């Protein structure tokens, strides 16, 4: 075991919390990878097996790649690698920022612009149906990993 992984007995509860968070983030990312992969495959199959305009590829593949990076960072977080904390916090902020930007664009220039009541109903339905975890897990990562105690755990020894 390295000195980074050992730590003081006082830091063990925080280490356990971060390991739990890393496990939850990894499971979340794997579920998102599988769901995005299935959605991409379904979208291509519905289009006749090809994606001639690239719209399905441009929509789904970045999500698959993002969550693959997120899963990798969560694994590194579990091992308390020095840069893992910063990477998970950055990816979590990017995830929340992208969601906010997508929602703003939906209401500014997308379908939500013309029918805001319907767009709000759809967003609430998606949140109730499971999209709330897209907010909860990244927010938890940001809140738990930005503390001074968490930063000290990831400092190179």
Whether the predicted pLDDT of 157 surpasses 80? no
C-beta separation of 139 from 25 below 8 A: no
pLDDT in tens, 102-126: 999 989 998 889 999 999 999 999 8
pLDDT in tens, 21-50: 999 999 999 999 999 999 999 988 888 888
SS3 of the chain? CCHHHHCCHHHHHHHHHHHHHHHHHHHHHHHHHHHHHHHHHHHHHHCCCCCCCCHHHHHHHHHHHHHHHHHHHHHHHHCCCCCHHHHHHHHHHHHHHHHHHHHHHHHHCCHHHHCHHHHHHHHHHHHHHHHCHHHHHHHHHHHHHCCHHHHHHCCCC
pLDDT in tens, 78-108: 999 999 999 999 999 999 999 999 999 989 9
pLDDT category at 6 given cuts 50, 70, 90 is low
pLDDT category at 130 given cuts 50, 70, 90 is confident
Nearest to 95 by CA among 124, 125, 131: 131
Mean pLDDT of the region 122-142: 93
**CB neighbour list of residue 121: distance below 8 Å, 6 or more residues apart:** none
Distance CA 24, CA 47 (A): 34
Q: What is the mean pLDDT of the chain?
A: 90
18: its two tokens: 């971060």
pLDDT at 155: 86
pLDDT at 36: 92
């Amino acid at each position: 075991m390295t000195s980074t992984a050992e730590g003081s007995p006082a830091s063990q509860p925080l280490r356990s919390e971060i390991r739990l968070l890393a496990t939850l983030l990894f499971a979340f990312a794997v579920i998102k990878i599988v769901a995005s992969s299935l959605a991409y495959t379904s979208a291509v199959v519905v289009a006749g097996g090809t994606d001639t305009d690239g719209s399905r590829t441009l929509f789904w593949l970045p999500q698959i790649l993002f969550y693959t990076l997120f899963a990798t960072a969560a694994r590194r977080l579990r091992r308390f690698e020095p840069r893992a904390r910063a990477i998970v916090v950055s990816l979590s902020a990017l995830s929340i920022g992208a969601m906010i930007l997508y929602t703003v664009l939906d209401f500014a220039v997308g379908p939500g612009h013309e029918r805001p009541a319907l767009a709000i109903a759809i967003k609430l339905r998606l949140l109730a149906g499971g999209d709330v975890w897209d907010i909860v897990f990244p927010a938890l990562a940001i809140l738990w990993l930005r503390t001074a105690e968490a930063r000290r755990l990831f400092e190179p020894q």
